């Protein structure tokens, strides 16, 4: 089921002294997000990620195109009760404590009483701020503010969350916590749409990703499919080769590494893989593994952005 439907969304900003020169921040974006998935919204600086999220949050008005969330237009206040939003670089009033902020946001959603108290406490624990529950936010470093930002986005128990750079400003442990939170949201059936620059985190948890560049969608798909596009070679590991195997198989491989009694062969795709495997079987070597060598998302991202320049 599609829970976010973006259709030909375009946003121009008027810039310059006379506000006459339009800058196209988002160019005809169409995208669907499915219920229950973790969707990674990627792109370099200035790609239009935050602009897209702000359009979805109805904080900006599109130049053209439209979007629907849970079947409702983005302006629907009823629908808004079922979504959560973490803005990029969130800022909260300095003299509040985490508990006070969450209580405040919860009341905006019409929550109160014991229910709100319980939820506030549980969320503060979940995001790892239990020890700082009653400290004022002015004493908080960026990482804690970010955690609190995630907690406030979850106070209404949303069906879909939109996180704009949830890992930014966090150390590796903090990033692991955010990954854990996102995965636990998915386990509860929550749809997570998040933008990020931190590709290993995206790679670790996303079902699908898209790559946006200069306002245009470059690519969208399951991570496995996107990275498969770049598979150019296979790695074959065998053991039990006679000492001359290196010479005998040499012509079939791009690279050979010897690791104790094992050989690691790097073979180009297609027929070369078949030839190498036939050699392995003919020689009665023991086949340990055959794996496609995938570029990391990081490598893929770089080449996707580069090839569009």
Ligand X SMILES: Nc1ncnc2c1ncn2[C@@H]1O[C@H](COP(=O)(O)OP(=O)(O)OP(=O)(O)O)[C@@H](O)[C@H]1O
Residues that bind Mg ion (CB under 5 A): 49-50, 88
Q: What is the spatial distance between Cα 264 and Cα 234, in angstroms, rounded to a whole number?
A: 10
* Smallest distance from ligand X to CB 47, Å: 4
**Count residues contacting ligand X (CB under 6 A)?**
13
Footprint of ligand X on 35-94 (CB under 6 A): 43, 45-51, 88
Q: What is the spatial distance between Cα 287 and Cα 281, in angstroms, rounded to a whole number?
A: 8
| 143 contributes a contact to ligand X by CB under 6 A | no
Q: Which of ligand X, Mg ion, none does residue 13 bind (CB under 5 to 8 Å by kind)?
A: ligand X
* Smallest distance from Mg ion to CB 28, Å: 19
Q: Is the dihedral of CA 291, 297, 298, 302 positive or negative?
A: positive
Q: Indicate which single residue of 23, 183, 248, 258 sits in contact with ligand X (rule: CB under 6 A).
A: 23
Q: Indicate which single residue of 2, 15, 61, 134 sits in contact with ligand X (rule: CB under 6 A).
A: 15
Q: Which residue from 110, 101, 115, 111 is spatially nearest to 151, judged by alpha carbons?
A: 101
Q: Is the Cβ of residue 106 or residue 166 nearer to Mg ion in the bound state? A: 166
Q: What is the spatial distance between Cα 142 and Cα 90, in angstroms, rounded to a whole number?
A: 9
Q: What is the spatial distance between Cα 70 and Cα 83, in angstroms, rounded to a whole number?
A: 9
Q: Is the Cβ of residue 105 or residue 211 nearer to ligand X in the bound state? A: 211
Strands, E assignment, 16-146: 21-34, 38-42, 64-69, 72-73, 83-86
Q: Is the Cβ of residue 59 or residue 183 nearer to ligand X in the bound state? A: 59
* Smallest distance from Mg ion to CB 269, Å: 37
Q: Which of ligand X, Mg ion, none does residue 307 bind (CB under 5 to 8 Å by kind)?
A: none
Q: Kindly write down the DSSP assignment for every residue of 36-71, as one continuous string.
A: T-EEEEE--TTSSHHHHHHHHTTSS--SEEEEEETT
Q: What is the spatial distance between Cα 194 and Cα 42, in angstroms, rounded to a whole number?
A: 8
* Smallest distance from ligand X to CB 155, Å: 24
Q: Which residues bind ligand X (CB under 6 A)?
A: 13, 15, 23, 25, 43, 45-51, 88
């Amino acid at each position: 089921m599609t829970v976010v439907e973006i259709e030909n969304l375009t946003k121009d900003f008027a810039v310059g002294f006379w506000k006459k020169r339009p800058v196209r921040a988002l160019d005809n974006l169409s995208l669907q997000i499915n219920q229950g998935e973790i969707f990674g919204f990627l792109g370099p600086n200035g790609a239009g990620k935050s602009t897209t999220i702000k359009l979805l949050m109805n904080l900006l008005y599109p130049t053209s195109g439209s979007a629907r969330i849970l079947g409702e237009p983005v302006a629907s206040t009823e629908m808004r009760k079922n979504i959560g939003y973490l803005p990029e670089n969130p800022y909260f009033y300095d003299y509040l404590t985490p508990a006070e902020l969450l209580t405040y946001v919860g009341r905006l959603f019409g929550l109160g009483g014991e229910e709100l108290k319980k939820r506030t406490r549980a969320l503060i624990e979940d995001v790892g701020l239990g020890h700082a529950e009653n400290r004022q936010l002015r004493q908080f470093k960026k990482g804690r503010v970010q955690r609190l930002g995630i907690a406030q986005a979850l106070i209404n128990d949303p069906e879909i969350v939109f996180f704009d750079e949830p890992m930014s400003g966090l150390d590796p442990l903090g990033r692991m916590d955010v990954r854990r939170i996102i995965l636990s949201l998915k386990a509860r059936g929550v749809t997570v749409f998040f933008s990020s620059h931190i590709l290993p985190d995206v790679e670790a948890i996303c079902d699908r990703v898209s790559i946006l560049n200069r306002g245009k969608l470059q690519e969208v798909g399951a991570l496995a499919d996107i990275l498969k596009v770049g598979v150019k070679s296979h790695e074959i590991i065998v053991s039990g080769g006679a000492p001359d195997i290196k010479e005998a198989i040499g012509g079939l491989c791009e690279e050979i590494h010897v690791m104790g009694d094992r050989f690691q062969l790097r073979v180009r795709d297609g027929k070369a893989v078949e030839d190498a495997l036939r050699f392995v079987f003919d020689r009665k070597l023991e086949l340990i593994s055959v794996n496609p060598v995938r570029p990391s998302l990081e490598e893929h991202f770089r080449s996707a952005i580069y090839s569009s320049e």
